[in-house]
Amino acid sequence: MTATLQSIDPANGTVVGEVRPTPVGEIPAIVARAKAAQKAWAGHGLERRAQLLRSAGEALSARADEMGRLISQEMGKPLKEALGEARGCVASLAEEVDDIEAALADEVVEDKTVKSTMIFDALGVAACITPWNFPVLMPHQVVIPALLAGNAVIMKPSEKTPLSAQVWAECLLSVLEPDVLQVVHGDEEQGKALVAADVQLVAFVGSREAGGHIMREAAGSLKRLVLELGGKDALLVLEDADLEAAVTFASRNCFRNAGQVCVSTERIFVHQRLAERFEMSLAERAKAIRQGDPADEATEVGPMVDAAQKAHVNRLVQEAIAAGARCLAGGEAAPGNFVRPIVLADVTPQMSIMRQETFGPVACIMRVDSDDQAIELANDTPYGLGGAVFGEVEHATEVGRALDTAMVGINKGCGGADGVPWVGAKQSGYGYHSGKAGHRQFAQVRVISRSK
């Protein structure tokens, strides 16, 4: 194991900073300390835990811009978006704590003869393993409900973005008792050790492959799981779609954060009547996107997170072109870890780029003759996270209902109203987070009943 874990700026290759990786041999002791601290933390009661976590808002606010700059430097997100991620977490903290507190409050259910009270208790120790593409938002969404439920938390941020996540954790640590929240740094070696340890819940956001490993390893001790996994989201552009609106959405959702978003649009099925105009318009938008230094306010798309991710994207693109796809935009060589936004037409369902999660700034367009064909092709994937359908509202809603993804947007992205969970279907998730139902995934439900 290296003495330090370096965080590298993907835009220029410079070292942003470093942290000490946690020796795997220390993890059992870390879990033991968490178990010892958890009893007192749970004993405070929900109201007191909520009060303490709200009080972290001051520390988070004071360091929000520092977190935003680190996010941008560590993973290449344009600075304005990185600052938005950090500031957004700060601005929403109090409301989120209120919502989680309400979701975890006792709930009474009665019938004619029995009065039952549903109580939401702690599970014990939660291991929260979070990704690099939203290194502050994702800990925010899984660690806070885990803590509010009365669990002690061991958080392992991605080895690619340890600094921004560490600052976020330090803000919470400033108001928490020792060992209620601990941070483990490292790569998959530390992650696997946490999953194998004596924890009661694993909350993970990351790849489908890693999620499968966690499920297998957790099965022996029946650990509770909250897994948000990958996606291969489809956009369906129906014959009666507003073409301009569909292109605007695609240009944003295919290329935002260099396509490194779990619900990025990776497959586009366009009705023949609109296809040529859609392809030309999206290609023009892609060519006009400003790519460069993430710190430049004019930059819209930054680099890939590292050379390995760039190589993965380029391999899928080149394989598709060799198999007959037309490259309408992008595809030229780019320096360092940059990949110019790419638009591919004439893709086929058999191409790897239509099967594997790309996680890069690539729009893949396939023409279709009917709604049924679009639905069949969109559903032909093991993934089922999000999707979007553009068309006349009632028509698009009917088509959207036929998709076997968990979240579908009609003439918009897949994100729902406040209070709904963020959830995946098929191999895009197991358990879910956010919203009343999602917050309760971090607790053990108990039912106390008595006769009336």
The catalytic site residues sit at 228, 262
CA-CA distance, 343 to 317, in Å (whole number)? 10
Report the distance separating Cα 226 and Cα 206, nearest Å: 11
Q: Order the strands of the 107-110 sheet from edge to edge.
A: 107-110, 114-121, 444-451
Q: Is 264 helix (H, G, I), strand (E, B) or coil?
A: coil
Q: State the alpha helices, DSSP H only, in 24-128.
A: 27-43, 46-54, 57-62, 64-75, 79-104
Instruction: Please tell me the distance from the alpha carbon of residue 48 to that of residue 265, in angstroms, as a whole number.
Output: 42
d(CA 381, CA 359): 16
Alpha-carbon separation of residue 333 from 14, 218, 324, 337, 338 (angstroms): 21, 43, 20, 11, 9
H or E segment to which residue 237 belongs: strand 233-237
- HSE-CB of 55 using CA atoms within 13 angstroms: 10
C-alpha to C-alpha distances, 426 to 228, 372, 380, 389, 405, nearest whole angstrom: 11, 20, 11, 19, 8
Helix axes 79-104, 46-54, angle to 10 degrees: 160
Residues 34, 179: contact at Cβ < 8 Å? yes
Q: How far apart are CA 101 and CA 81, in angstroms?
A: 29
Q: How many CA atoms lie within 13 A of 438 on its CB side?
A: 24
DSSP of 126-151 = EEEE--SSSTTHHHHHHHHHHHHTT-
